[in-house]
Amino acid sequence: DQQVKQNSPSLSVQEGRISILNCDYTNSMFDYFLWYKKYPAEGPTFLISISSIKDKNEDGRFTVFLNKSAKHLSLHIVPSQPGDSAVYFCAASSFFSGTYKYIFGTGTRLKVLA
Amino acid sequence: NAGVTQTPKFRVLKTGQSMTLLCAQDMNHEYMYWYRQDPGMGLRLIHYSVGEGTTAKGEVPDGYNVSRLKKQNFLLGLESAAPSQTSVYFCASRRDRGNSPLHFGNGTRLTVT
């Protein structure tokens, strides 16, 4: 039972255009959502997060949108750069058994073409 | 500031052998986590700790044990390795009681033959 789903295993985008990565979740108890970027042979690096009380959070070229009614979040990267090529994981957390648990999606591989 | 450091980076084990993966963080974080990453399955939580001396099971704890004797260290043990434990293992830590991002180490790639 996958609570956090990234249905697109891969995405290719031209340099300078917008990249949109999507994530769906099933558990309405999730109240904090995060995006991570991962390069080969490295650990995931935190990119941006959003609390369930907001519907948008921006940090430079990265914007995360949250649609609670649809249980959907997305990450927009504008403009996309070749250095953005990586695997992107979304994650969601909720308070359970005394601490916050973080559930990850399966990742989307983004390739930005020069 | 090293952040989260994992040792070793690579290891090959034979079925039935044991080993310990070490995670060390220098950020004075209370919470530490062990995840495994497998193709097509994302990151799955093995065990976690909410403070020194405490541990708890995650989604996939079978075949693993953990210890948190010191706040800065979180050890993951495999008592009798199996090929199904071939994976990349990531340790993570985070700061405080409320929601906050996880900070990850660079992983340990383990192969069990």
Residue A73's DSSP bridge partners are: A23, A66
Using CA atoms, how far apart are residues A41 and A83, in angstroms rounded to an integer? 15
**Whole-number pLDDT of residue B1:** 60
How high is the mean pLDDT of chain A? 94
**Whole-number pLDDT of residue B39:** 86
Closest CA to A99 of B36, B100, B74: B100
Tens place of pLDDT per residue across chain B (113 aa): 679 999 999 999 999 999 999 999 999 999 999 999 998 888 999 999 999 999 999 999 999 999 999 999 999 999 999 999 999 999 999 987 778 899 999 999 999 99
Query: Is the Cβ pair A42, B106 closer than 8 Å?
Result: yes
A36 CB neighbours in chain B (<8 A) are 104
Name which of A44, A97, A100 is nearest B104 (Cβ-Cβ): A44
Name which of A4, A6, A97 is nearest B56 (Cβ-Cβ): A97
Structural contact between residues A67 and A55, judged by C-beta atoms closer than 8 angstroms:
yes
Residue A56's DSSP bridge partners are: A65
Name which of B40, B45, B102 is nearest A106 (Cβ-Cβ): B40
Interface of B with A (CB under 8 A): 4, 31, 33, 35, 40-45, 48, 50, 56, 58, 90, 92, 98-99, 101-107
Compute the nearest-CA separation of A100 from chain B (Å). 7
pLDDT above 90 covers what percent of chain A?
89
> Which amino acid, residue A4?
V
Query: Is the Cβ pair B4, A105 closer than 8 Å?
Result: no
**Whole-number pLDDT of residue B95:** 86
Question: What ranges make up the beta strands (E) of chain A?
Answer: 4-5, 10-14, 19-25, 32-38, 45-51, 56-59, 62-67, 72-77, 86-96, 99-104, 108-113
| Band of pLDDT at residue A1, cut at 50, 70 and 90 | low
Query: Is the Cβ pair A51, B58 closer than 8 Å?
Result: no
Structural contact between residues A80 and A15, judged by C-beta atoms closer than 8 angstroms:
yes
Query: Is the Cβ pair B106, A93 closer than 8 Å?
Result: no
A42 CB neighbours in chain B (<8 A) are 106-107
Coil, helix or strand for A84?
A: helix
pLDDT in tens, A27-77: 999 999 999 999 999 999 999 999 999 999 999 999 999 999 999 999 999
Closest CA to B30 of B47, B51, B13: B51
